[in-house]
Every structure is written in structure tokens, then in C-alpha cells.
Amino acid sequence: MKGKQTDTNLQSASKDLVVFSILRESKCAECGEELWKGRFLCMEEGRPLCLRCADLDHLVYLASGDAALTRRARKHSALAAVVVRFSRARGRYERQGILVEESALQKAEQECLVDADQRAARREREEVRRNEQDHDLAACVAGAIRELFPGCPPAEVLAIAAHATVRGSGRVGRTAAGKALEERALTAAAIAAIRHNHTRYDELLMSGCSRVDARDAVRDDVARTLDLWRKPAS
């Protein structure tokens, strides 16, 4: 747990109750039950409570992953709670699923079975649309890279654009600057490709060199290749 203020913020930010999937052992402040890692607990006025003492033990857990099922189960459940877990890597609480009434989950599952084919067809259409958008974005980024670096080999232009625009990657091609084809963002993508493909950067990292030191070691090599790429191909 990360403190009263964080717990309060989570509660106020959600219309639902918030339940924590704990990462270390705790104990219910009311009944004294030992709560092991992975168990659920609630925070009430700064005190950890097991689900039984929080009057939530009749709810069932539905993990994230099926948006339609989650949405429908939440709609049918008079009482529900959001389950979160703290991510040490990201330094924040992340949603894991929800707790809902069992009857609500059963009703939601029945509804999802009825229109499963329709939702599958819609997902396929959306996937086709996303693929077309991704292809168009990669093509635009590739064209902009060719203009900035006419000496870059055509195969590398396509590879850089494809790598930079992977959906969900957070790479420069998916940022606002990348989508706007800003020179700074596209240059950053080219520099990253040069480091990995035209210098000893990866080898230095594998030998135990820090990222900062490895970048310093290959800085001149990167600059030389970048200069060559800026010149028209012969």
C-alpha cells in the first residue's frame, strides 16, 4: 500500500469502490485475518479490511480483458468494485479487473453469447481499419524520412518508419510530433536506427557498458552516418 492519500485519491477518482490486490502481506484491522500476497483488501479510514469485513465477500472477480463482458457485468451489478494493483515498474496503480455480483456476471455472459458473432465481425472491421491507418502513417513517415535523409538506403527508410510507428509502442512515430512529421522526431528515429545497426552500441551494452557511456562512445559514428544520409544518394 502506498499511503492514505493515494488510497483516498483512488476512491474519489472512481465511481466504484476500490479494492487492492496486495503485493505484500497484510492483516485485516477488524477480524485479524492474515492477508497474503495476491489477496484483496479494502481501505476504510486508513485501515485495511478483508472483503468479508468490508461486506464485499459475496462479489466475484472478473479480470480485465473482455471489455463487453466487463461493461455489461458492471451495468447489471448494484454493487461493484474496481480491483487495482500497484506497479513498481510504472510507479502507479493499475486496473486488474472488477468485483461484481455473481448474478450480474451470469447475465452479462448470456448477453455476450447472444451477440458474439456480431461483436466479432465488428472487431474484424476495426482491425482492418486500424491496419489501414497504420499503413498510411508508416507511408507518410517513410516519405518524410526520405526527404530529410535522401541518402538513407530505401530498405532502411521503410524499416525505420515501420519500427517507429508500431501501434502501442510509444515510439516517436506514435507521438504527436511523429504524426506531425516533425524533423526532430524523425531525426530521433533515424539516430536510434543508426545506433543499433551501424555502430557498436548493442555490443557495448552487452559488455556491461551503461546506456549513457555507450551512447557517448558511438556519438561520432552516429553523426557521420547521419551526415551521409543527409546527402543525396549518388
Residue 171 near residue 189 (C-beta atoms within 8 A):
yes
Phi first, then psi: what are they for 47, rounded to 5°? -110, 135
pLDDT band at residue 130 using 50, 70 and 90 as cut-offs = confident
pLDDT given for residue 13 in this prediction: 44
Mean pLDDT rounded to a whole number for the chain: 87
Q: In what order do the strands lie in the sheet with 40-44?
A: 47-49, 40-44, 17-21, 81-87, 92-101, 59-63
Given a cut of 50, whether residue 12 has pLDDT beyond it is no
Given a cut of 70, whether residue 144 has pLDDT beyond it is yes
CA distance 22 to 35: 8
Given a cut of 50, whether residue 226 has pLDDT beyond it is yes
pLDDT given for residue 181 in this prediction: 72
pLDDT band at residue 10 using 50, 70 and 90 as cut-offs = low
Of the two residues 53 and 183, the one the predictor is more confident about is 53
pLDDT given for residue 3 in this prediction: 44
Delimit the domains of the chain by residue range: 4-114, 120-230
| Interval 89-112 mean pLDDT | 93
**Closest to 65 measured CA to CA, from 112, 10, 19, 102:** 112
Lowest mean pLDDT of 4-8, 82-86, 192-196, name the range. 4-8
pLDDT given for residue 198 in this prediction: 95
| Interval 183-196 mean pLDDT | 91
Phi first, then psi: what are they for 191, rounded to 5°? -60, -45
How much is the pTM?
0.53
pLDDT band at residue 5 using 50, 70 and 90 as cut-offs = very low
Residue 86 near residue 6 (C-beta atoms within 8 A):
no
- End-to-end Cα distance, the chain: 62
Given a cut of 90, whether residue 134 has pLDDT beyond it is no
pLDDT given for residue 1 in this prediction: 47
